[in-house]
């Protein structure tokens, strides 16, 4: 249970709020780079700020104020040039640093004027990495953008999925350190959604939470496993401050404002041995819908189920009315860590896990259960024997709504047909 004041500390993200300023000290993903395959300008709201994300004709990304510094026209209706984004109203041109580099009529009428120098736009740096666009909205100097080891996994098919979630980011991120929900929200609810009364899934016998420099891990022992399981020896990663890492996929909960969150998932699947070497030419992006036509939430896929928990807690969960138990020890831990961090940063210290050393940022390893799956790969026959990978070939289990083109590209990479069955290989003799 938290006081209203402490709840506000965790949940308010606008400029000048303690958490808002804190989160701005990190790079976080804001879009899939494939979103810019067939458009060049996008309106985007982040951390309570209305912004415009664009890719100019030279391929440079920029993130500038939503409103033009001239007379406040909407820059998301601007058009890109070789170097920057031009406002569609009177043609002022902004570059990715926020500098106003052209003011066409002013330049003609009074070429010596200094108006340009006074008319910069707010602008934040953007980087592209592994199919994601990342922004840094904090004070200079920006820390290094970490290249997580998973971004270097070879022979993989990757897709990026985003969803707009109408609730505060913190309740989404608390889900990243909540092992017990997996049993009820995913395993047992899925059993019931299939029309079965059970038996229910294996139960949680114990959970543990540990801090490390890049976040926390949670570990579990369930009734069908023991302490030799990777879920106990390694566990899953609460990636500080707004990520979740599960070996072959990441999820980030990026604040849009106090009552909205952008969910961004990055999903890797290693192709079977037979399909190696495989080099993906293009990382697709798709938007994951969250509502059914009747207005109820979609509940068929794992992250859709999570989203139902997040939005169900209210636009901003009222933590003065909750009752935490032993399953929530991780949640209490990370809240307290955030409170400590807010104080530490106010006292001038660098936030937890920031990387300043370019060498360190080149390869950032995180705890990975089943690391062998990603580093060594396995033949297709082993996929079919594996409880998770056999299902992964048949359907994308994380989000509802995978587009057909992405499904096709995935199946081609994996060497299976659209039903997930092995393709007859051309080299095999016909029977
Ligand atoms: S309002 Fe943008 S150029 Fe005039
Ligand atoms: Fe979940």
Let me know: does 383 contact 272? Beta carbons within 8 Å: yes
Is pLDDT at 428 greater than 70 in this prediction?
no
Q: What is the CATH number of the domain that holds 393?
A: 3.90.380
Ligand nearest to the CA of 304: 2
Q: Using DSSP, state whether 210 is helix, strand or coil.
A: strand
Q: Is residue 114 located within the same domain as residue 161?
A: no
Instruction: Compute the distance from residue 300 Cα to the ligand 2 centre, in Å.
Output: 12
The pLDDT assigned to 425 comes to 60
Instruction: Compute the distance from residue 361 Cα to the ligand 2 centre, in Å.
Output: 29
Q: How many domains does the chain have?
A: 2
Q: What gap in Å lies between CA 203 and CA 182, rounded to an integer?
A: 10
**For residue 420, is it within any domain?**
no
Instruction: Compute the distance from residue 175 Cα to the ligand 2 centre, in Å.
Output: 7
The residue whose two tokens read 């997040």 is 310
Comparing 122-131, 185-194, 265-274, 385-394, the range with the smallest average pLDDT is 385-394
The pLDDT assigned to 430 comes to 45
Is pLDDT at 382 greater than 90 in this prediction?
yes
Q: What gap in Å lies between CA 2 and CA 58, rounded to an integer?
A: 49
**pLDDT tens digit sequence for 71-121:** 999 999 999 999 999 999 999 999 999 999 999 999 999 988 888 889 999
Q: How many CB atoms lie within 10 A of CB 73?
A: 17
User: Within 6 Å (CB) of ligand 1, which residues are found?
Assistant: 68, 70-71, 73, 87, 89-92
Ligand nearest to the CA of 77: 1
The residue whose two tokens read 């594996």 is 386
**pLDDT tens digit sequence for 12-28:** 999 999 999 999 999 99
Index of the ligand 1 atom closest to the CA of residue 73: 1
Q: Is residue 323 located within the same domain as residue 258?
A: yes
Length of the chain: 431
Q: What gap in Å lies between CA 151 and CA 146, rounded to an integer?
A: 10
Instruction: Compute the distance from residue 52 Cα to the ligand 1 centre, in Å.
Output: 15
Index of the ligand 1 atom closest to the CA of residue 69: 2
Index of the ligand 1 atom closest to the CA of residue 78: 2
Residue with CA at minimum distance from ligand 1 atom 3: 90
β-bridge pairing 156-165 and 285-287: parallel
Q: What gap in Å lies between CA 237 and CA 252, rounded to an integer?
A: 12
Ligand nearest to the CA of 251: 2
Ligand nearest to the CA of 183: 2
Beta strands per DSSP E along 246-311: 249-257, 260-270, 285-287
Q: What is the DSSP string of 368-404?
A: -TTHHHHHT---HHHHHHSHHHHHHHH---SSS---H
Mean pLDDT of 404-411: 97
Boundary residue ending a domain (107, 136, 165): 136
Q: Is residue 196 located within the same domain as residue 314?
A: yes
**For residue 84, is it within any domain?**
yes
Instruction: Please report how the helices 329-346 and 4-11 are oriented relative to each other, as an axis angle in degrees rounded to 10.
Output: 80
Instruction: Compute the distance from residue 178 Cα to the ligand 2 centre, in Å.
Output: 8
Is pLDDT at 353 greater than 80 in this prediction?
yes
Residue-number span of the structural domain to which 288 is assigned: 149-414
Is pLDDT at 406 greater than 90 in this prediction?
yes
Four-point Cα dihedral 97, 99, 103, 106, nearest 10: 180
Instruction: Compute the distance from residue 339 Cα to the ligand 2 centre, in Å.
Output: 25
Residue with CA at minimum distance from ligand 1 atom 4: 90
The token pair at 409 is 């590209």
Boundary residue ending a domain (102, 136, 170): 136
**Alpha-carbon distance values, 230 to 214, 266, 342, 369, 371 (Å):** 19, 22, 33, 5, 10
Pocket test for ligand 1, best of 68, 81, 120 (most atoms within 8 A of CB): 68
Residue with CA at minimum distance from ligand 1 atom 1: 71
Task: Give the percent of the chain with pLDDT over 70.
Answer: 98
Q: Is residue 119 located within the same domain as residue 258?
A: no
Q: Is residue 125 located within the same domain as residue 267?
A: no
Instruction: Compute the distance from residue 306 Cα to the ligand 2 centre, in Å.
Output: 5
Q: What is the CATH number of the domain that holds 75?
A: 2.102.10.10
Mean pLDDT of 352-381: 94
**pLDDT tens digit sequence for 242-251:** 999 999 999 9
Instruction: Compute the distance from residue 301 Cα to the ligand 2 centre, in Å.
Output: 10
Ligand nearest to the CA of 178: 2
**pLDDT tens digit sequence for 287-309:** 999 999 999 999 999 999 999 99
């Amino acid at each position: 249970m938290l006081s209203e004041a402490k709840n506000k500390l965790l949940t308010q993200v606008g400029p000048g709020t303690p958490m808002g300023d804190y989160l701005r000290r990190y790079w976080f993903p804001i879009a899939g780079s494939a979103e810019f395959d067939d458009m060049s300008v996008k309106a985007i709201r982040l951390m309570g700020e209305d912004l415009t994300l664009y890719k100019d004709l030279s391929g440079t990304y920029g993130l500038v104020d939503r409103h033009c510094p001239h007379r406040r026209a909407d820059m998301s209706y601007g058009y890109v040039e070789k170097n920057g984004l031009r406002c569609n109203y009177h043609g002022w041109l902004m570059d990715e640093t926020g500098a106003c580099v052209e003011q066409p009529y002013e330049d003609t009428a009074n070429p010596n004027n200094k108006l340009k120098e006074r008319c910069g736009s707010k602008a934040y740096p953007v980087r592209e990495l592994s199919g994601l666009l990342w922004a840094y909205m904090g004070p200079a100097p920006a820390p290094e953008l970490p290249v997580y080891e998973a971004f270097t996994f070879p022979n993989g098919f990757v897709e990026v999925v985003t969803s707009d979630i109408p609730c505060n980011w913190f309740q989404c991120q608390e889900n990243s350190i909540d092992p017990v929900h997996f049993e009820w929200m995913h395993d047992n609810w899925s059993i019931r959604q299939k029309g079965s009364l059970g038996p229910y899934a294996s139960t949680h016998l114990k959970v543990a939470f540990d801090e490390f420099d890049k976040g926390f891990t949670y570990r579990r022992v369930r009734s069908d496993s023991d302490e030799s399981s990777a879920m106990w020896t390694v566990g899953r990663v609460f990636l500080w401050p707004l990520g979740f890492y599960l070996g072959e996929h990441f999820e980030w909960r990026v604040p849009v404002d106090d009552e909205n969150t952008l969910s961004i998932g990055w999903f890797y699947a290693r192709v079977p041995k037979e399909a190696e070497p495989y080099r993906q030419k293009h990382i697709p992006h798709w938007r994951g819908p969250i509502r059914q036509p009747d207005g109820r939430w979609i509940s068929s896929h794992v992250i859709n189920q999570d989203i139902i928990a997040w939005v169900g807690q209210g636009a901003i969960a009222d933590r003065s009315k909750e009752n935490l138990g032993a399953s929530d020890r991780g949640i209490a831990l990370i809240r307290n860590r955030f409170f400590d961090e807010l104080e530490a940063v106010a006292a001038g210290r660098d936030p937890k896990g920031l990387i300043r050393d370019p060498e360190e940022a080149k390869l950032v390893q995180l705890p990975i259960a089943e690391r062998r799956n990603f580093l060594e790969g396995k033949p297709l026959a082993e996929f079919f024997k594996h409880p998770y990978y056999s299902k992964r070939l048949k359907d994308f289990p994380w989000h509802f709504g995978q587009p057909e083109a992405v499904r096709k590209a995935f199946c081609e990479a994996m060497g299976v047909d659209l039903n997930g069955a092995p393709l007859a290989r051309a080299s095999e003799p016909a029977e």
